[in-house]
């Protein structure tokens, strides 16, 4: 499959605790299973989606609009599950 | 007498001697290395990060068992960060470019990250991450500098811990039996101190501001977790008043739990589900009572053995079991699980094995007991002797064949004979069950059902063995999932077999403490659950909002799915539908 340009989508953080350690760790773990490069932007802050540390440094509060960018062969399969993780509300 | 005001984050009253934590930071003596030592520093860094990740995973394991997944997850997150390539690259960059020592580079790198949180207001929800980062720094530095071991040495005396702040790693090393309360200078309602205090169910007051210079270790202090007060060196009148208050109070967290105390776990269509508590220490039995549990569904007896220089005597076993039975009274069952660990934890038999390659598939648990009859019989004798105090029941862990089970029953019969000959009283007809956690036992449940009075499904191990995945191995932990269709089929198999032979079934793994699985478990036919006491009110609420009809539908639908992911998504949806308040 020829690589397309990067895919982007905007996701609003719904989790009442924001993108803190637990969702960031879950996201990074999932992101690492894809070959595509994963980047998450919070305003002018940029994070490598495969690094849980980078992700928490975004300080993404509930309501924050994040831009998810996925670039690579499996970008098409990656983008939805990753976007879902960013938008997810943690089940208790 | 000095009264300090702070933020009340966990209710209750504690009175006791203060243990003041040393708040000195780590001093980094050397900052720069000569060029030829740079690679050596890179190597040291790598080792320290690996070690720190291992320690974090160990905390995760032990705390998940004791306090639940939420607390364990904190350390799962920490482990992920120690292994984060970004962190490593950043620190290595500082070592190579600036010729910093590994220690100095770690500190510089982390402090740069910490700066991002400096502008947040003190009660911002992300401020806790700042504490996490500083904890990471401390742990890696401790490893690099060869400083290990608990900064909180306890000689077994109950204390009240006073500190500037408590990091996750520090609180992970606490012995809940001896810490009665926390009070810290900094921190807010969502700080780690608050979370740990909530999980341990002990009073805590945070954000007091500077006070450590006004108190010395050993001073009598009072922590009032309702009003948010720390009272140093109370006068007689105040001390007497608080002693009375302490006697009158539960440490339950809030009226929501108190109001559920007398309410039964009955479904909307009138089906009663029994809710039991999992305990490790006799003093946790009272937590089960405070939460309105129907009894103790799992008493993990390993803690009688760990960290001791010699094996516990029959008397020590007997006193522990008697204490639990006395607390719960004559009618509430107490299910004792016989010894369930590996030989490495034992003082008397650790010579038996040198370097087992697969400890989880090796000589542990019931297999160890069957090879060491004096050890096993000691425990069985104590259980039978204690039986006169209440409704004690026995279950055997890790049973993988009918032969093993029969050997255990045989031994029990021998112990009964011995006690009779010695004229020691005991109940003849106590109920005996088996854990179902090895897949072979689940598959042969119909055969095992004819030999026992009850089953207890140990989902933690059942999931591991069924999917052949170690939940603590990052590389395969994703496979470990209680929602996996294979696991669900085995549970259904066990429940069906038990029903046909009229044998009761309980679930005592973490799965029964996760609200999302309640409709499924009830729908598969389970009418008994055993959970960590803290979770009882939540699970009670879930059961009260459920109908068995709905639950059976959820179980049927889940049974049609092919992947754990589908099942999880479905169960979450169902949870939101049935229990909207529980889903958040």
Res. B255: pLDDT tops 60: no
Q: Sort B354 into a burial class: Cβ within 10 Å, 0-12 / 13-18 / 19+.
A: exposed
Tell me which residue in B84, B478, B538 faces A53 most closely, judged by beta carbons: B84
CATH code: domain of residue B340: 3.20.20.60
Highest mean pLDDT out of A22-31, B2-11, B390-399: B390-399
Domain end (from B203, B221, B251): B251
Same domain, B310 and B456: yes
User: Mind telling me how many Å the CA of B582 is from chain A's nearest CA?
Assistant: 7
Residue in chain B nearest A91 by alpha carbon: B583
Using an 8 Å CB-CB cutoff, list chain A residues near B113.
Answer: 53, 57
Residue B256 belongs to a domain? no
Instruction: Note if B76 is an active site residue.
Output: no
Kind of pairing between the strands at A37-42 and A65-71? antiparallel
What is the predicted pLDDT for the residue at B500? 95
Tell me which residue in B76, B86, B117 faces A54 most closely, judged by beta carbons: B86
Give tens-digit pLDDT for A50-76.
999 999 999 999 999 999 999 999 999
Catalytic residue from among B288, B408, B495, B508: B508
How many angstroms separate the CA atoms of B569 and A84, rounded? 11
* Range of the structural domain that residue B7 is part of: 2-22+153-251
Residue B352 belongs to a domain? no
Residue B257 belongs to a domain? no
Residue B311 belongs to a domain? yes
Residue B564 belongs to a domain? yes
Give tens-digit pLDDT for B358-386.
777 888 899 989 999 999 999 999 999 99
End-to-end Cα spacing for chain A: 40
How many angstroms separate the CA atoms of B88 and B192, rounded? 25
Give tens-digit pLDDT for A9-46.
999 998 888 999 989 998 998 999 999 999 999 999 99
Please, which residues have CB within 8 angstroms of residue B437's CB and are 6 or more apart in sequence? Answer: B397, B398, B457, B458, B459, B460, B461, B462, B465
Active site residues of A: 20
Q: How many CB atoms lie within 10 A of CB B363?
A: 16
CATH code: domain of residue B129: 1.10.274.10
For chain A, the structural domain boundaries read: 7-87
Using an 8 Å CB-CB cutoff, list chain A residues near B120.
Answer: 59
Give tens-digit pLDDT for B299-343.
988 878 766 667 889 999 999 999 999 999 899 999 999 998 776
Average pLDDT of chain B, as a whole number:
86
The number of residues in chain A equals 92
What is the predicted pLDDT for the residue at B147? 67
Same domain, B212 and B303: no
Residues facing B336 on adjacent strands: B299, B394
Return the SS3 of B294. coil
Kind of pairing between the strands at A37-42 and A45-48? antiparallel
Res. B174: pLDDT tops 80: no
Counting residues of chain B whose pLDDT is more than 90, the rounded percentage is 50
Give tens-digit pLDDT for B18-72.
888 765 556 677 788 899 999 999 999 999 999 999 989 988 888 887 777 778 8
Please, which residues have CB within 8 angstroms of residue B135's CB and are 6 or more apart in sequence? Answer: B78, B167, B168, B169, B170, B192
Domain end (from B214, B230, B251): B251
Q: What is the reported pTM?
A: 0.58
What is the predicted pLDDT for the residue at B152? 52
What is the Cα A27 distance to its own chain's centre?
6
Using an 8 Å CB-CB cutoff, list chain B residues near A91.
Answer: 515-516, 572, 575, 583
Where residue B440 falls among pLDDT bands split at 50, 70, 90?
very high
- Whether the CB of A51 is below 8 Å from some CB of chain B: the reply is yes
Using an 8 Å CB-CB cutoff, list chain B residues near A20.
Answer: 125-126, 128-129
* B571-582 mean pLDDT: 80
Answer whether A59 sits within 8 Å of B116, measured CB to CB. yes
Where residue B392 falls among pLDDT bands split at 50, 70, 90?
very high
Contact between B115 and B157 under an 8 Å Cβ cutoff? The reply is no
| CATH class given for the domain over A7-87 | alpha beta
Same domain, B86 and B51: yes
Give tens-digit pLDDT for B408-429.
999 999 999 999 999 999 999 9
Same domain, B53 and B125: yes
Same domain, B376 and B492: yes
Where residue B261 falls among pLDDT bands split at 50, 70, 90?
low
Domain end (from B92, B116, B144): B144
Using an 8 Å CB-CB cutoff, list chain B residues near A50.
Answer: 85
Residue B272 belongs to a domain? yes
Q: Which residues of B touch A (CB under 8 A)?
A: 73-74, 76-77, 80-81, 84-87, 113, 116-117, 120, 125-126, 128-129, 132, 478, 515-516, 538, 572, 575, 582-584
Q: Cα dihedral sign for B529, B530, B536, B539?
A: negative
- Whether the CB of A21 is below 8 Å from some CB of chain B: the reply is yes
Same domain, B65 and B9: no
Counting residues of chain B whose pLDDT is more than 70, the rounded percentage is 90
Answer whether B81 sits within 8 Å of A91, measured CB to CB. no
Please, which residues have CB within 8 angstroms of residue B218's CB and are 6 or more apart in sequence? Answer: B17, B18
Residue B28 belongs to a domain? no
The number of residues in chain B equals 584
Tell me which residue in A29, A51, A91 faces B86 most closely, judged by beta carbons: A51
Structure tokens at A80: 């939805």
Phi, psi of A90 (to 5 degrees): -65, 130
User: H-helix or E-strand containing A36?
Assistant: none
Using an 8 Å CB-CB cutoff, list chain B residues near A53.
Answer: 81, 84, 86-87, 113
Catalytic residue from among B192, B287, B288, B495: B192
How many angstroms separate the CA atoms of B329 and B149, rounded? 40
Res. B520: pLDDT tops 60: yes
Residue B355 belongs to a domain? no
Query: How many structural domains does chain B have?
Result: 3
- Whether the CB of A63 is below 8 Å from some CB of chain B: the reply is no
Same domain, B104 and B160: no
Same domain, B267 and B246: no
């Amino acid at each position: 499959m020829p690589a397309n340009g990067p895919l982007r989508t905007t996701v609003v953080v719904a989790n009442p605790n924001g993108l803190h350690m637990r969702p960031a760790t879950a996201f990074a773990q999932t992101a690492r299973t894809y070959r595509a490069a994963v980047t998450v932007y919070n305003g002018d802050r940029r994070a490598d989606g495969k690094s849980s540390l980078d992700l928490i440094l975004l300080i993404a509060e509930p309501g924050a609009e994040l831009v998810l960018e996925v670039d690579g062969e499996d970008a098409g399969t990656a983008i939805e599950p990753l976007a879902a993780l960013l938008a997810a509300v943690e089940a208790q | 007498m000095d009264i300090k005001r702070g933020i009340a984050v966990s209710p209750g009253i504690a009175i006791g001697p203060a243990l003041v934590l040393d708040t000195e930071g780590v001093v980094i003596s050397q900052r720069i290395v000569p060029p030829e030592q740079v690679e050596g520093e890179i190597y040291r860094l790598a080792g320290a990060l690996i070690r720190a990740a291992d320690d974090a995973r160990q905390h995760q394991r032990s705390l998940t068992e004791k306090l639940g997944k939420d607390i364990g997850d904190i350390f799962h997150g920490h482990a992920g960060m120690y292994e984060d390539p970004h962190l490593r690259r950043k620190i290595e960059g500082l070592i190579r470019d600036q010729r910093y020592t590994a220690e100095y580079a770690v500190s510089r790198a982390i402090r740069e990250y910490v700066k991002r949180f400096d502008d947040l207001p003190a009660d911002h929800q992300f401020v806790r991450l700042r504490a996490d980062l500083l904890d990471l720094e401390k742990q890696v530095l401790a490893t690099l500098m060869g400083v290990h071991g608990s900064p909180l040495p306890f000689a077994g005396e109950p204390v009240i811990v006073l500190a500037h702040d408590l990091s996750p790693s520090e609180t992970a090393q606490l012995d809940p039996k001896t810490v009665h309360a926390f009070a810290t200078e900094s921190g807010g309602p969502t700080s780690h101190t608050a979370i740990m205090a909530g999980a341990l169910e002990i009073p805590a007051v945070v954000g007091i501001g500077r006070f450590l210079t006004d108190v010395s270790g050993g001073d009598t202090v009072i922590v009032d977790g309702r009003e948010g007060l720390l009272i140093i060196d109370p006068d007689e009148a105040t001390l007497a008043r608080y002693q009375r208050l302490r006697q009158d109070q539960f440490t339950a967290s809030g009226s929501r739990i108190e109001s559920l105390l007398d309410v039964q776990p009955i479904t909307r269509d009138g089906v009663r589900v029994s809710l039991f508590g999992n305990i490790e220490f006799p003093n946790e039995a009272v937590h089960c009572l405070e939460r309105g549990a129907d009894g103790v569904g799992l008493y993990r007896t390993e803690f009688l053995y760990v960290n001791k220089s010699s094996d516990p005597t029959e008397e020590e076993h007997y006193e522990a079991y008697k204490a639990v039975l006395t607390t719960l009274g004559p009618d509430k069952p107490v299910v004792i699980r016989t010894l369930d660990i590996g030989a490495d934890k034992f003082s008397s038999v650790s010579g038996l094995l040198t370097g087992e390659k697969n400890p989880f598939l090796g000589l542990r648990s019931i297999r160890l007991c069957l090879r060491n009859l004096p050890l096993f019989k000691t425990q069985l004798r104590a259980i039978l002797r204690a039986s006169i105090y209440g409704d004690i029941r026995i279950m055997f862990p890790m049973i993988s064949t009918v032969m093993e089970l029969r050997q255990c029953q045989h031994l029990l019969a021998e112990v009964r004979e011995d006690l009779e000959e010695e004229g020691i009283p005991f109940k003849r007809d106590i109920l005996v069950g088996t854990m179902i956690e090895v897949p072979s036992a689940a598959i042969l449940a119909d055969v095992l059902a004819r030999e026992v009075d009850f089953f207890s499904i140990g989902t933690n191990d059942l999931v591991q063995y069924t999917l052949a995945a170690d939940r603590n191995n990052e590389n395969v932990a994703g496979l470990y999932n209680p929602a996996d269709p294979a696991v669900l089929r085995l549970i259904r198999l066990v429940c069906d077999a038990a029903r046909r032979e009229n044998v009761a079934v309980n679930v005592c793994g973490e799965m029964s403490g996760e609200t999302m699985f309640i409709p499924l478990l009830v729908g598969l036919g389970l009418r008994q659950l055993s959970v960590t006491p803290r979770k009882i009110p939540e699970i009670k609420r879930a059961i009260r909002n459920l109908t068995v009809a709905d639950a059976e539908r959820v179980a049927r639908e889940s049974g049609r799915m092919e992947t754990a992911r589908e099942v999880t998504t479905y169960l979450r949806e169902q949870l939101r539908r049935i229990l909207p308040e529980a889903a958040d």
